[in-house]
Each structure stands twice: as C-alpha cells, then as structure tokens.
Amino acid sequence: MRPFAVNRIPRWISGAVLVLWAFCVVYPVFWSIMGSLKDNQQFFNGKAWALPKFPLLWSNFSYTWETYHFGRYFVNSIVVTVGSMALALLLSATTGYVLARYTFKGSGLLYYFYISSLMIPAILTLVPMFFLFDTLHLTNSLTGLILLYAIGALPFGIFVIMGFFKSLPRELSESATMDGASHYGVFLRIMLPLAMPGLITVSIVNALSFWNEYPLALILMNDPGRYTLPVGLAVMQGEMQYRTEWGPLFAGLFISMVPILLLYAIFQSRINEGLVAGAVK
Amino acid sequence: MLKRKASLTATALMLLMSGVLAACGGGDNNKENASTPTSGTSKNGAAETAQLKGDFEIQYFVGGYGDAWWKSMIAGFKELHPDLNIKESAGPKINDQMKPRWIKNDPPDLVYIDGAGGLDVGQAVKDGQLMDLTEWFASAENVDGEKLSDVVITQPSAIEGKLYTVPLVFGSWGTFYDKALFSKNGWEAPKDFDSFVTVSEKIKAAGIAPYIHPGVYTGYLIGGFLFPAMVSANGDDPSILQDVSDLKPGIFKSEPVMKAVGQLVTMRDKGLIDKAAVALNHTDSQMQFLQHKDAFIPNGLWLPNEMAKDTPEGFEFGYIPSISQAPGGKYVANPYTSPMAIASKAKNPEAAKAFIQYIFTKKAAIEWAEKTGALMNLKVDLDSSKASEVSKGAIKFYSSDNLIVAPAVPIQADVNKEMENATLALTDNKIQADEWAERMEKIAEKVRSQK
Amino acid sequence: MQLSLPEFHVRGDCMTAAWKRRLFIASFVWPTLILFLVFTVYPVLRGLHYSLFDWSGSAESMDYIGLRNFKDMASDPVIAKAIRNDYFLVFSKIFGIMLLAVFFAVALTRLKLRGSKFYRFAFFFPNVMSVVVIGVLWRFIYNPKLGILNGLLSETQGKPVETPWLGDSSYALLALLPPAIWAGVGFFMILLIAGIKGIPEPLYESAQIDGARQWKQFWHITVPLVWEQIKVSIVLIMLTSLNGSFAIVSVMTEGGPDNATQVLGYYLYQMGFKQYHMGYASAIGIVILVLSLVTTIMLQRIMKRDSVELS
C-alpha cells in the first residue's frame, strides 16, 4: 500500500528533525541517569556531558531511598494517586454521562460552569483551601489530598468523558430501555463498559498530574510521614542548598520519574485512543 | 528566598562592642565555670523545676546548621521531662508549611526563626502573634542557675519597649577568600577598598575572576558588601542603616549611600564581578569560589560548615568583615541573628520557656559551635573547643578596636525586594547609580504612604 | 432531548418515569456538584473576597479597602511588565508548540516514517516529568559555568562561553521559552495525531488521484479537518500558560533578574506569600481570571473566522 508518493527531500528533512527532537527529549532523561551515578567532584570539575566515572555510584540510589525516606514518599504517592484516580473517575463519569445523554434544566449551564473553572488560577485558592481543610480536619491526611486532587481533575474528566458518551450510538441505550433496563442499568451495564477507553485515558492523564502535583501537597501535608514524592524532592532540593548532593538528587529525580514512564509505556496506545474520542467532541 | 533572610528582616539589634569583647575575648577573662556544666548541674536544675506535661511543639528551620544540635537538645530536654510529648515541626521547607497555621492562630509553642520564608518578626508582633517576654526574660535563669540576660552576647532587641524574641544564633556577614591560594600567589588580603581593587586586578590578570556573588539571591551582596559600605561611607557611623531601615526621605540619594553604590559601580566597571554571577544561586556561586574560579565571595560565617563536604583539600577559609573602608578606616561587621520566640497563642508556654532555659547554657553553646561551626548567642570560651577556625578567626576581629559592629536592622519586605532587584540590575550594567537611587526612593515613598 | 422522549411513550406511566429520571439525574449530578462547590467554588470566592482587603496574609485581622488594590495595580509598573511577559510567553508558546506539534503529528501519521511508535513514546517524556524535575534539569542546562549549553558553545567556538542565560535581563525571558515549549509539545502532538487519524483515508486518496501534492493535502484536508483540535490546543496552551506559568518561573528564575521574567502568576505568589500583601495578590488573581476569559473569547472569535475561510 503506497498511495502517497512523498517527495524524498521533505521526507529526509522530516526524518532528521524527528531524530533531533528525539535526542532533545531523551538525552535529558539519560543525562539525569548519568548524573545520579556521579559524585560532586565529577559535577563540578568534569564536562557537563561527561559519562560518570567508574565505579558507578549506585549507592546514590540507596542513599536517597533511605536517608531521604523516599520509600515512604513512594508509598504515599501511590496511595494518593490511585485513590484520587478512582474518586475522580466516579465523580466525572457520573456527571459526564448525565451531561452527555440527558437534557434537563440547567444542564447547559452546568457544563459551562465546569469548563470555565479551567480558567481559575489554582494558586489563588491555596490559603482559603488550607482553612477549609483545617475546619474539616483534613490537613495531614492522605484522604484530604485524594479528595482535593479528584475534584481538581473534574473539569477535564467531565469534558473528555462527555465526548465519549456522546459518541456512543443512541440506539444502544434505547433498545436497552425498551427491554426494561433502568437508568442505572443502562449506565452500568451498557454505557460504562463501552466508554472504557475514555475512562482509561482520563485516568492516565489524571495519574500524571496527581503523581507530580506539588504546591497543594506542600502546604497541606507538613508531617514528613505524609509527604508525597514531589514534596520529598523539593525538601531534598531545599536541604541541598546547605548540603550539596547532586548525585542523590538526580537519583531522586529518576526514582520519581520511573513509575510514570512505565505507566505511560504500558497504556500509551490507550491514551492516544482516548484522546481521539475526547478531542473529537 | 534569601536563606538568611531572617538576618535582614530580624528585629533591630545593637551589638555593643563591650558585650562582644566580654564574650569572645581571649580565654582569661571568662567565667570560671566555663567548663563545668556537667550533667550533675542540669539534673539539679531539673529537680527544682516541676515536671512538665502535655504536648509541646517546636518549629525549627533546618538549614546550614543541620539538625544534630536540635535533636540532641530535644533528647536531653525529654529526659528531664519524660511526660512531655514533644512534637518537632522541622525541615528546610518548614516555614512555608507552618505559615497557614500561624495565620489561623494555631501556632507551635516555640519557634526558631531562620531561612527562606521565615516569620517576619515585625509583622508578627504587629499581628499580635508573639508573646511578650519582657518580664520573663528580665529574671529568667538557665538550668545552671545563671541569669539569661547575663549570659547572652547580644540582648534581645525591643520593639516599642518590649521584648518578643531571644537571639539564638549570632554571626556576621563578610567577604571570604582562600588563604592558601592567596599566599601561594603572593596576593595580600585586602584591608580596605583600594587594596581590594589592587589585588583584584592582579587576580584578574592571573586569569581568575575576582568577585562572585549569588545574583539570584542578591541579599548576599547587600549584606556582605553594600550595608557595610554604607557604614564606611558614613564615617563609620552605623546609624545610617537605621535611617535606611526607617526609610528616611532622601536617604537613598544621600552621599554615604551613593558612595557605597558607587563602589559597586567601580567594581562593575573594572570588570571585577564575575559576569556569570547574575545567573547563580548561592550553592552555584559557592562552588565556583571553592573551585578557585573566583577569588572573593560575600557570605556569612556559616559558609565553611555549609560547604564542608565540598571543600577541596588545602582550602583555607579567610574572613574579612568588610572591604569597603577607606585606607586606614575601620572594619565594619554587619551581623545577622536568628532568634527564638514563643507564640502568644502557645498552648504550653511553660514548656517553651523551660526549653529556652534549658538550651541557653555554656554546654549547649559549645555543642552548638562544634556541631554547626557557628556561634550561639552565649558568652562561652571556645578556644579549647572544636569550633571552626573561621569562628575563632572572626572572634579576633570582634575583639579588635579596629571594628565597628553595625546594627542588624529590619528592612521592609517590599523595599528589600526592590533593593535586590535594583542592585542586581546595577551590577549587570542595566541601570546606573542615579536610577538605583530613584527606584529606591520611589519604593520607599510608596511604603511610607501605606503606613 | 436525546433519551427521554421514546421512553415516555413506551411506558405511559409518565409521572413515575419522569420522577425516576429526575432522581437518576440528581443522584449523578449532585454528589459531584456539592463536592465541587465546597472544594473549588467556595475557596475561589473566598480568594476573590480577599481582594477587597488590606491583609498581610499572616494575621487574622483584615482591613476593608474597597477597590484600592486594583487602583494600586494600575500604577504598579511590575504588573504592566508581567502582563507583557505573560502575553509574550502565551503567543510564543502557541507559535512554537503548535508548529512543532502539527509538524510531528503530520510526520508521524501521513509520512509513514519508520519508528513512529518510538517517537510518539519518546516525545511524551517531558510531559510526565514533574515541574521540579524540569526546573532542576534546565537550570543545569543553562548554568553559565557547568551547563550543557555553554559547554557546547565553548566547544564549537573554541573559546570559553559563559553566557548567564537566566541571569541577564536581555535574554532571560527568551531562555524560558525552550523549556516551556519542550515540556508542552508532546501532549498536543498526541491530541493532533488523534485528530488526523480520525480523518477518513479516502479523502486523501481522492486528493492523491487529483494530483494534489503533500503540501496541498495538508492545507486543504488536514488543517480544516483537525481545526477543532487545533483550536482546543491553542486555547489550552493559552490557559495553561496564564494560570500555570507560575510553576516554570518559580523553578527557573523566581521572576528575576530584576523582574525580567516576572509573570502575573508568580507575582501573585511573591506578593501574597513573600511580601505579605495577600489582598493585593488576590486582586492579581482576578486580573488573571479576567484576562483568561477575555483572551479565550477573542481567540475563539479569531479562529472561528479562519475556519470558515479554510474549509
């Protein structure tokens, strides 16, 4: 199948640009791995792109893991990410479904209400949020963070999931209704399974942002036992101002990057699929 | 984000030479019990004190001094009061993390104020967040039975006649160089601005950049160079800094301030300031300095301890309080202090007071010096201790007649930020001295009008 | 409109059906809405409320001052500079990200190049990194003495280059662009790939038969048919830039040197959390909100006209 006779020269140039950009995005990752195996002397005396000297300092990883308690931060991050992914899915799938397939008083308003909240500068809510959390006794609780992340992800989730439900053929639900299925039955047994790719997409994109969220976690979690990885990293960077340890820092950066890269690698095609449906209204 | 912001914004503090001399002079004039704070004494002190109970929360910033001293102090205190439930809120980001709790009046009992984003004492007093310690401090004794007001080097500073803080750390800004490098090259440590320029030009000719500073945190240049320079230019009269702090109209266009700024311009125009400085933070600039890419750096006495791990073999920290004085002029020491305070809403103020009484002892001060390399605000003989050479060297300056100690004046946050911005722009040749003065007068005017 | 009508006719028991339907909708809408109101709307309203006060942000007491914060803003030169910088970043990012994202999306779908799966994976790397990571990485790249960039330049020019990229007010703002674009391209590329894959293949085939060159196909088929995605991308870039530039500025430059890289988002943070003017900071938040709204509407209008011309 070769319906497109593409000119050779543009093709060649395009290829070159792709390779160049691939280098630009892969090299920093490679470079931080290299960095995590160096000591300070190599950082400050050697060329920036030099490979680490032997013996490789794998100890930087165990050092970071233990001295900076990355093990615990890791677990916290996983709990928070998984928890808020599930909650975000529940909240945005229900609302998204109703907004996509039902018309009722205020449904249009509700839609714009959620979408326009994308324009709010999140940092504005930091201080009020803290007071709210305190009133509700949610500070220093992972549950509080889960709640907050899940709700913050609503507009995006509703937006994408709506697109999914809208794209499903109407006949499906109509025939089910005729067979006597209830509203809940249609949703749970027919619509939800069909929208699975969209739900996965939303969850992965959510996972990316939950895993990396930093300002809220910093303010709301001030018990080191509750730190998530980004807070742990920032604290480490903060301590680095007084104790220069580039190698362990890069090891920490790398540790925090790996799970999300794996997740993306596994679900890559699903994400692409989901975005198709989500973006094409 | 200046990490020793507290030193600039801390409450006014006048260091009397006599106090410093008594504190740090050669060993002979020190109190007889300098080396006798044994565990026995502290146990007696504890026996007299009622056992403390309940919760007790300490907030302390962990930075260049580490937390080893704090851990040791808290463990000792816990031994004295086993029923006390001590909660430590500590870390390099603790100021940000605790800020909301201060806002909503749920503060810790005791706070050590230091580091980026640390409590602004002036603001906190205005907001009624700190406990009035005036009466307590006048009579309080440490666990060894010595009056606190007798043992501290510098007295707490008063705000409208009342005391709210007790300075814990005592130190000074200054200019650092590597003695070994200088003697190897036959360079002389500068004694005044002229000799600084002369030796810098030699250094430059030898292929080393003379002067580096962290441009991202211009506070280092201001604390280590500009403020002392203002005092030098004012005929060694430190009252100029009080005027700057008070934002006296026209102060930034006054002759002494312009002369100090002019010295920066001279350094800039002679190419003595490393061009890379504008993009560096403190760690970057300190690494440059340690790697002999640069010869001088404005910094604080915490520097050698902070960089201990990365200091190359043979590097010998040299410390000069100021480099801005005219030939024959006196050195100017610009001090920084990091204080402790008790929250007015403290739930366990008795424990907070008892903890201060527990840590302001000679034993604790020696431990501080050994663990942090810096000086605690307590008169103690360090000669036989393992305190850093730089601390001991700094003391030699303090005990000299040839030194003026400037007050540690608070600079309002908006003014401070604009001064950092304008000073950085000046060193990078983006603005000139008159524009610098214009900008500072403008922000001063604005802040005055808001009061 | 979609589901309810047939249902009514089938059952005849209209009241119960309508009631059931209403209950169902309510049960799916209200839990989400209530949580959203409590944890998003309420804090935002509180934040906006602060903008009418002179409040240090570190005390319980607040002074009501009406609109004075907004008046002060009008005479604050940093605000004007921050707005200029914000829009410079918005438009440069839109240009840079869209150019690259469209190019990559087309190259990885229409040109049938080898390894496109790998590229699609790799190009997304920066999107999975925390902003803390991006900051550390790029500060190191730009480091005047140790950084990769100056290292490369020194090597190619044969003399030491020590340009303080993030420290010189002449190019610090420009230096923020590469990391911002670098970190943004992947997501939008995938969005566009999805759009292009949704275009029916026969359209291209018939164009091919008509002898339309690749370039022509791009303008006459690809662009009009993915215009919806392009529009969404541009608005998203604008919104995330205005609301999110805080992050990249805080990890790279903290607004310096001398406000050269100051943006509204970071200035809000600096005023509220570092200089004790929480009321003023909240007023800045309102400005960001208004600018986001106005710009969204304007961009939507401009792009609406274009889409008519193109298709």
Interchain proximity B93–A131, CB inside 8 Å? no
DSSP string, C79-144: HHHHHHHHHHHHHHHHHHHHHHHHHHHHHHHTS--TTHHHHHHHTTGGGGS-HHHHHHHHHHHH-T
Q: Mean pLDDT for chain B?
A: 83
Q: Which CATH class is domain A60-279?
A: mainly alpha
Highest mean pLDDT among A225-234, B426-435, C150-159: B426-435
Q: Which residue has the higher pLDDT, B257 or A166?
A: B257
Look at residues A141, B439, B94, C83 and name the one whose alpha carbon lies nearest to residue B430. B439
Is residue B378 scored above 70 in pLDDT? yes
Note the pLDDT tens digit of each residue in B148-177: 988 887 777 777 778 899 989 888 899 999
Q: What is the pLDDT of residues B257-300, one digit of tens each?
A: 999 999 999 999 999 999 999 988 888 899 889 989 999 999 98
Q: What is the pLDDT of residue B36?
A: 38
Residue B282: its chain A contacts at CB < 8 A?
Answer: 241
Domain residue limits, chain A: 60-279
**Nearest one of B117, B140, B251, B272 to B204, comparing CA atoms:** B272
pLDDT band (50, 70, 90) for residue B12 = very low
My answer on whether C91 and C202 are in the same domain is yes
More confident residue, A193 or B179: B179
Percent of chain B surpassing pLDDT 90? 51
Answer yes or no: do C36 and C159 share one domain: no
Residue type, A111: Y
Q: Which residue has the tokens 């691939």?
A: A22
pLDDT of residue A159: 79
> Between chains, do C182 and A25 touch, taking CB under 8 Å as contact?
yes
How would residue C36 be classed by pLDDT, with cut points 50, 70 and 90? Answer: very high
Q: Which two tokens stand for residue C140?
A: 């190191």
pLDDT in tens, B328-354: 889 998 888 889 999 999 999 999 999
Interface-testing mutation among C63, C145, C275, with chain B (most B C-beta atoms within 10 A): C145
Rounded Cα gap, residues C193 and C211, in angstroms = 24
Rounded mean pLDDT of B305-328?
A: 88
Q: C257 and B126: CB-CB below 8 Å?
A: no
Instruction: Report the residue from B119, B120, B278 with minimal CB separation from C164.
Output: B278
pTM of the predicted structure, to 2 decimals: 0.82
Neighbours of chain A (3+ CB pairs under 8 A): B, C
Residue B34 pLDDT more than 70?
Answer: no
pLDDT for A271? 65
- Residue pLDDT, tens place only, C273-283: 788 888 999 89
How high is the pLDDT of residue B396?
66
How far is B263 from A125, CA to CA, in rounded Å?
45
Within an 8 Å CB–CB cutoff, is residue A45 touching chain B? yes
Residues C9, C140 within the same domain: no
Is the model more confident about A67 or about C260?
C260
Most confident of B228-237, B382-391, C235-244: B228-237
> What percentage of chain A reaches a pLDDT higher than 90?
15
Nearest Cα neighbor of B385 from B374, B397, B399, B396 is B374
State the sign of the Cα–Cα–Cα–Cα dihedral A50, A53, A59, A63: negative
pLDDT score recorded for residue B44 = 41
Residue C8 banded pLDDT, cuts 50, 70, 90: very low
Q: Which of A253-267, B209-223, B433-447 has the lowest mean pLDDT?
A: A253-267
Select the residue of A40, A127, A235 nearest B310 (Cβ to Cβ): A40
Name the domain count of chain C: 2
Cα–Cα distances (Å) from A249 to A89, A239, C107, C139, C228, in that order, read 34, 10, 37, 14, 42
Mean pLDDT of C16-20: 83
Q: Are C79 and C284 in contact (CB under 8 A)?
A: yes
pLDDT at A272: 63
CA distance C108 to C99: 14
**Strand B403-405 versus strand B331-333 pairing type:** parallel
Indicate if C202 and C156 belong to the same structural domain: yes
Q: For residues B376, B381, B385 and B389, what is the CA-based torsion angle, rounded to 10 degrees?
A: 70
Q: A237: distance to nearest CA of chain B, Å?
A: 9
Whether pLDDT at C137 is above 90:
no
Query: Which region among C27-31, C147-151, C287-291 has the lowest average model confidence (pLDDT)?
Result: C147-151
Residues C92 and C32 in one domain: no
Spatial separation of the C-alpha atoms in residues A117 and C39, rounded to whole Å: 12
pLDDT band at A6 (very low <50, low <70, confident <90, very high): low
Q: A261: closest CA among A16, A25, A12, A51? A: A25
Are residues C285 and C203 part of one domain?
yes
Q: How far is CA A91 from the centre of its chain?
A: 17
The verdict on residue C58 lying in a domain is no
The H or E element containing residue C64 is strand C63-64
Q: How confident is the model at residue B57 (pLDDT cuts 50, 70, 90)?
A: very high
Question: Which residue's structure tokens are 């050590």?
Answer: B112
- C239 lies in a domain? yes
Does C116 lie in the same domain as C44? no
Q: Walk me through the domains of chain B, giving residue ranges and CATH numbers.
A: 5-171+336-405 (3.40.190.10), 173-332+412-450 (3.40.190.10)
pLDDT over 90 at B76, yes or no: yes
- Closest residue on chain B to A129 (Cα): B100
Give me the pLDDT at residue B119, please.
84
Q: What percent of chain C has pLDDT over 90?
A: 27
Subunit contact B421:C256, Cβ cutoff 8 A: yes
**Residue A275: its pLDDT value, please?**
58
Which of A29, A44, A229 is opposite residue C146, by nearest beta carbon?
A44
Asked whether the beta carbons of C54 and C37 are under 8 A apart, the reply is: no
Q: Are C132 and A230 in contact (CB under 8 A)?
A: yes
In a domain, C90, yes or no: yes
Confidence grade of residue C232 (pLDDT, cut at 50, 70, 90): confident
B288 vs C: CB within 8 A: yes
Q: Which of A111, A141, A116 is nearest to A226 (CA)?
A: A141
- Tens digits of per-residue pLDDT, A84-124? 999 999 999 999 999 988 888 888 889 888 878 877 777 77
Nearest CA in chain B to C142: B279
pLDDT more than 70, % of chain B:
87
Residue C104: give its domain's CATH number.
Answer: 1.10.3720.10
pLDDT recorded at residue A2: 44
pLDDT one-digit tens code per residue, A9-63: 777 888 899 999 999 888 888 877 887 887 776 766 666 666 777 777 777 788 7
Neighbour tally for B401: CB within 10 Å: 7
Higher-scoring residue by pLDDT: A259, B134 = B134
CB A153 within 8 A of CB A206: yes
In angstroms, the CA A122 to CA B362 distance is 49
**Is the pLDDT score of B5 beyond 60?**
no
Q: Contacts of residue A264 in chain C, CB cutoff 8 Å? A: 121, 124, 128
Considering the domain architecture, whether residues C163 and C258 belong to the same structural domain is answered as yes
Least confident piece of the model among A78-82, B232-236, C190-194: C190-194
Residues C170 and C281 in one domain: yes
> Residue holding tokens 């914000």?
C86
Whether C148 and C17 share a structural domain: no
Per-residue pLDDT tens over the stretch B92-145: 878 877 877 887 788 999 999 988 778 888 778 878 899 999 999 999 999 999
Distance to chain C for A242, nearest Cα, Å: 16
Q: What is the domain range of residue C198?
A: 68-310
